């Protein structure tokens, strides 16, 4: 019978589980974000570099193509931690731009339209809401970071063979967990910015500014007080240092090490999470 | 055995340094019976805080509240799976059509994708938004937004629907439509309804029970169904002249009267006493009738008495003093 003739009946069927309900927000958000033309263009552009790197991997594994071109080129074409560090640095820039584009539209509209009571009056907690918003960004940012990174690593394993994998498996783990850490930090910055600034353009600019301003502030502290430890307060430096540690690349002795940088990143993530949770309340309480 | 829909036991809610709910206790509704409960009170009485505490938005500082047998704070997920909530203020998700909005709300409540889409269409036709269901909610009029809010509260077929000022900003026709829908929800679909409103006529029209809050405590709880069955009529009579014997004269015809101010009487007429008999009593007592009006409804009388604007209802026992926070 047609819906308009049938009239309203209470739903009495089976309900979905908690995980299924939590994935509703990401599904709707992905659909909306991926329908934006700019996001599509950015996705395509962000794949140029992985394609170039794939060509590089192919060349590095086919020595017959560049025989007789010298030892310098051989060192240049080595697939090692430094190669993946360069790859990750470039892709992380695209991921940051993507977060600045996709992130601000995630929470601000819910706050402007007073939608939080609708979410929180359903079987969804504040933690579920934040987690589902993080999953949205994890999914989108993975497309430009983890997915091409792991494909590149898989390609290298496929061409170089199992022996190479046994010796370099930690590079795959470093790509996966390094990008995961990066996505976590960037997503928290984007969501917090979206929660506190309702204008999308300003919120997007704030995501980029967060990294530039802290970089500037860290350098300023280093110069004014003639110290080195303030580099750990630079999120870009901190992330690069943690990645370097994971990829087994040398870190300058006079700068903060992996542990200091990881501690700073954890602290800043905790701070952002607390700021986010503070803002996401179903009702405004005037004390 | 039938259990209460809402059970509140010494519930206290503190926001900052202020204690908004000061230890309230009550049992409201009967599970599965489709009753509507009216929540009344002057501004700042704690109505919204009570609703928010029931929804788990505020942690109780003491006591507890249970909905359908589940604790609102410790078993919030079970509670929220069984209720629908229509907030007082505009609450939407930006840039969505009504169908997409309702579908999203249905899925968040646990409906599978296909069922959520079907229910979204069904409920939009039910509330009268069928023809405009593909329009973005942001373009809706105030009345349509209220209907969309009601639709999202019932899309998943909850057992209890909490409505916070559902008729706010509605024109008379839309208001009647809204009240009719609320009546249908309880009578045809067996849903329990908690209706928070400052419009006494709305509550009178649809509710079976009423709770009146004042300054964070329950000052009155009444069974409106029983009140309606008693068929009492409330009359305001203003007279000039010596009215010292009027109370006794009214008792002779079976009515109860009380003087609130010199010459101003509030009278309760039983169903079998005609209004004309008041004229005859006034003539016999040589009183000049200045005004003779029906008071609007029984609930107004109950409300005014509960919030302290009138001392008591004629015919009631004079020694009725509510125990602090308890009925």
Q: What confidence tens digit (pLDDT) does each residue in B169-200 have?
A: 888 889 999 999 999 999 999 999 999 988 88
Phi and psi angles of residue A232, each rounded to the nearest 5 degrees, phi first? -65, -20
pLDDT score recorded for residue A172? 95
Mean pLDDT of B266-272: 82
Tell me the two tokens of residue B167.
Answer: 């008729």
Mean pLDDT of B36-63: 90
pLDDT at B325 over 50: no
pLDDT score recorded for residue A63? 75
Are B107 and A21 within 8 A, CB to CB? Answer: yes
pLDDT score recorded for residue B319? 45
pLDDT score recorded for residue A75? 67
Residues with Cβ < 8 Å from B269, sequence gap 6 or more?
A: B232, B233, B234, B235, B255, B275, B278
Are A9 and B157 within 8 A, CB to CB? Answer: yes
In chain A, the number of structural domains is 1
pLDDT at B135 over 50: yes
Looking at the complex, report in whole angstroms how far the Cα of residue B35 sits from the nearest Cα belonging to chain A: 16
pLDDT score recorded for residue B158? 94
In this structure, are strands B6-15 and B209-214 parallel, antiparallel, or unpaired? unpaired
In a domain, A151, yes or no: yes
Identify the closest residue of chain B to A108 by CA–CA distance: B94
In a domain, A203, yes or no: yes
Least confident of A208-212, A273-277, B15-19: B15-19
In a domain, A26, yes or no: yes
How would you list the strands of the sheet with B217-223, edge to edge? Answer: B83-86, B160-164, B192-196, B36-40, B209-214, B217-223
Are A125 and B57 within 8 A, CB to CB? Answer: no
pLDDT score recorded for residue B315? 61
> pLDDT: is A87 or B297 the higher one?
A87
Taking each helix axis from N to C terminus, what angle separates A258-279 and A235-247, rounded to the nearest 10 degrees?
Answer: 130
In a domain, A129, yes or no: yes
pLDDT at A171 over 50: yes
H or E segment to which residue A195 belongs: helix A162-196
Q: Which A residues in the span 188-217 are in contact with B, Cβ-Cβ below 8 Å?
A: none
Across the interface, of A25, A112, A281, the residue whose CB is closest to B94 is A112
pLDDT at B65 over 90: yes
Look up the ipTM and state it.
Answer: 0.85
Average pLDDT taken over every residue of chain B: 86
In a domain, A69, yes or no: yes
Across the interface, of A8, A112, A115, the residue whose CB is closest to B126 is A8
Residues with Cβ < 8 Å from B71, sequence gap 6 or more?
A: B64, B65, B79
Are B77 and A109 within 8 A, CB to CB? Answer: no
pLDDT score recorded for residue B324? 42
Among candidate residues A7, A181, A219, A197, the one with its CA nearest the CA of residue A88: A181
In a domain, A231, yes or no: yes
Across the interface, of A123, A285, A286, the residue whose CB is closest to B77 is A123
Separation CA B81–CA B73 (nearest Å): 13
Using 50, 70 and 90 to split pLDDT, how confident is the model at A7? Answer: confident
Mean pLDDT of B303-315: 65
Looking at the complex, report in whole angstroms how far the Cα of residue A182 sits from the nearest Cα belonging to chain B: 29
Are A285 and B16 within 8 A, CB to CB? Answer: yes
Domain limits for position A199: 19-279
pLDDT score recorded for residue B200? 84
pLDDT digits (tens, 9 = 90+) for A35-81: 999 999 999 999 999 999 999 999 888 877 767 666 666 666 788 89
pLDDT at B229 over 90: no
């Amino acid at each position: 019978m047609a819906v308009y003739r049938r009239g309203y009946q209470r739903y009495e069927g089976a309900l979905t589980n908690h995980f299924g309900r939590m994935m509703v927000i990401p599904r709707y958000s992905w659909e909306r974000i991926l329908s934006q033309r700019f996001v599509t263009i950015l996705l395509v552009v962000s794949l140029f570099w992985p394609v170039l790197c794939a060509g590089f991997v192919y060349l590095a594994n086919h020595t017959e193509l560049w025989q007789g071109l010298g030892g310098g080129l051989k060192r240049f074409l080595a697939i090692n931690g430094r190669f993946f560090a360069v790859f990750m640095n470039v892709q992380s820039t695209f991921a940051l731009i993507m977060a600045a584009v996709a992130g601000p539209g995630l929470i601000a509209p819910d706050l402007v339209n007073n939608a939080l009571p609708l979410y929180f009056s359903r079987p969804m907690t504040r933690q579920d809401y934040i987690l589902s918003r993080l999953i949205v960004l994890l999914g989108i940012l993975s497309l430009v970071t983890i997915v091409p990174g792991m494909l590149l690593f898989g390609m290298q394993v496929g061409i170089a063979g199992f022996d190479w994998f046994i010796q370099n498996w930690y590079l795959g783990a470093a790509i996966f967990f390094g990008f995961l850490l990066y996505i976590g930090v960037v997503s928290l910055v984007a969501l917090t910015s979206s929660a506190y600034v309702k204008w999308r353009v300003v919120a997007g600019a704030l995501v980029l500014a967060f990294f530039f301003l802290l970089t500037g502030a860290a350098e300023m502290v280093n110069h004014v007080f003639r110290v080195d430890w303030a580099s750990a307060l630079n999120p870009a430096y901190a992330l690069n240092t943690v990645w370097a540690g994971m990829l087994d690349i040398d870190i300058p002795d006079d700068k903060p090490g992996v542990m200091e940088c990881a501690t700073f990143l954890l602290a800043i993530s905790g701070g952002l999470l607390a700021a986010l949770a503070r803002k996401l309340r179903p009702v405004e309480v005037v004390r | 055995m039938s259990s209460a829909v809402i059970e509140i036991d010494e519930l206290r809610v503190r926001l900052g340094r202020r204690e908004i709910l000061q230890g309230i206790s009550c049992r409201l509704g009967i599970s599965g019976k489709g009753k509507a409960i009216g929540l009344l009170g002057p501004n700042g009485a704690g109505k919204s805080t009570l609703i928010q505490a029931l929804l788990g938005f505020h942690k109780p500082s003491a006591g507890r509240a249970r909905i359908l047998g589940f604790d609102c704070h410790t078993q919030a997920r079970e509670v929220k799976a069984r209720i629908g909530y229509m907030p007082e203020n505009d609450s939407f998700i930006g840039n969505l059509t009504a169908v997409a909005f309702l579908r999203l709300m249905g899925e968040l409540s646990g409906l599978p994708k296909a069922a959520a889409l079907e229910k979204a269409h069904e409920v939009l036709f039910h509330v009268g938004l069928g023809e405009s269901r593909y329009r973005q909610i942001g373009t809706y009029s105030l009345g349509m937004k209220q209907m969309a809010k009601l639709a999202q509260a019932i899309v998943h077929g909850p057992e209890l629907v909490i409505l916070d000022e559902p008729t706010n900003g509605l024109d008379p026709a839309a208001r009647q439509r809204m009240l009719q829908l609320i009546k249908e929800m309880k009578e045809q679909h067996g849903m329990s309804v908690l209706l928070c409103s400052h419009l006494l006529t709305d509550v009178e029209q649809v509710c079976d029970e009423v709770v009146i809050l004042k300054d964070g405590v329950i000052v009155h709880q009444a069974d409106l169904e029983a009140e309606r069955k008693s068929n009492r009529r409330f009359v305001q009579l203003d007279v000039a002249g010596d009215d010292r014997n009027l109370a006794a004269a009214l008792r002779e015809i079976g009515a109860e009267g009380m003087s609130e101010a010199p010459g101003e009487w509030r009278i309760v007429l039983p169903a079998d006493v005609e209004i004309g008999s008041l004229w005859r009593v006034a003539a016999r007592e040589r009183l000049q009738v200045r005004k003779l009006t029906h008071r609007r409804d029984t609930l107004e009388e109950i409300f005014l008495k509960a919030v302290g604007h009138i001392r008591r209802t004629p015919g009631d026992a004079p020694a009725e003093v509510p125990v602090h926070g308890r009925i």
